[in-house]
Amino acid sequence: MFYGFLLPAIVLTLIFTLYPLIQSLPLMFQRWPGYGKPRYIGFQNIQHLFTDPEFFAAIGRTLWLTAATAAGTVVIGTALAIAFYRKIPLTNTLKFLAFFPVILPPAVYALAWKNALDPTLGWVNKIPGLSHNWLSDPDTAMWAVIFVSTIQYVGIPMILMLSAMNDIPESANDAATLDGCNAWQRIWHVILPMSRDVLVVVIGLQIIGNFKTLDTVYALTKGGPGLATDILPTFIYRQGFELSNFGFASTAAFFGTLLIVALTYIYTHYFRPQKMSNQ
């Protein structure tokens, strides 16, 4: 029965993830513009990739976007979870508003923010002190992308952390109160430590999800201005679908996949919940 419940997810993963990945591997050694017969070129794509400064710059921007967005979503989501756990006024309404962006298609959500950040018509620039061409300035474009991504996905850690907090035995809070703990001491010494395993999982999920983001960045800036927000997914998309260099794009995608697998392995090895629980 266990494998029976897993079977639909396994089949979908094999069809839409593993099979395309295997099919794309031969393109690493070919030059193919999207039509005609691919031409074998050996290791030229790999050599080109590791001598391309734009590739390494895109990797750096991807890591920065991933770290900043993951940190923002986890910190804000956990803070909201603590607030809702303590039953602040209008809890249900505020939970809905915080989680609502998650259910929106990322491209639609990003386009809404793109209009809001428009230098002439956007409502953000009508706020005193915030008038700026946020998405066209290389110094602020990435910060705008980080902000939009954080606000959209903050609801995921909020829901998961709130669920973990609701599983904390009431006796633990009662014991902390009897010991003279105030509200902040209960948060730091009872609520967060007893939710640590879920917090580790939440951070891992946010890192993986943000590393792969494409639609939000592409809808907001398409990797611009210049290459200010050009991350690995937009780099791969541009090489394949705009420059018709599918062999080089497949090579970049393959090594990007290896990178995220390595990061995930390192994170789960050192911060897996079972290991954290034993510390």
* The amino acid at 27: L
Is pLDDT above 80 for 276? Answer: no
Instruction: Give the confidence band of 212 by pLDDT, cuts at 50, 70, 90.
Output: confident
Domains of the chain, earliest start first: 54-277 (1.10.3720.10)
Rounded to an integer, what distance in angstroms lies between the CA atom of residue 136 and that of residue 186? 45
Instruction: Give the confidence band of 270 by pLDDT, cuts at 50, 70, 90.
Output: confident
* pLDDT cut 70: percent of the chain above it: 97
Is pLDDT above 80 for 173? Answer: no
* The amino acid at 261: V
Is pLDDT above 80 for 278? Answer: no
What pLDDT shows up at residue 274? 56
Instruction: Give the confidence band of 168 by pLDDT, cuts at 50, 70, 90.
Output: confident
Is pLDDT above 90 for 114? Answer: yes
Residue that is written with structure tokens 């902390």 in the block: 176
**Quick check: 69 and 153 in contact, CB under 8 A?**
yes
Tokens of 175: 């014991």
What pLDDT shows up at residue 273? 57
Rounded to an integer, what distance in angstroms lies between the CA atom of residue 61 and that of residue 155? 24
What pLDDT shows up at residue 30? 92
Dihedral angle, C-alpha 128, 133, 134, 137, nearest 10 °: -140
Mean predicted confidence (pLDDT) in 131-153: 93
Rounded to an integer, what distance in angstroms lies between the CA atom of residue 256 and that of residue 251? 9
The alpha carbon of residue 112 and the mean position of all alpha carbons in its chain are separated, in whole angstroms, by: 19
The mean of the pLDDT values for the chain is 89
| More confident of the two residues 66 and 275 | 66
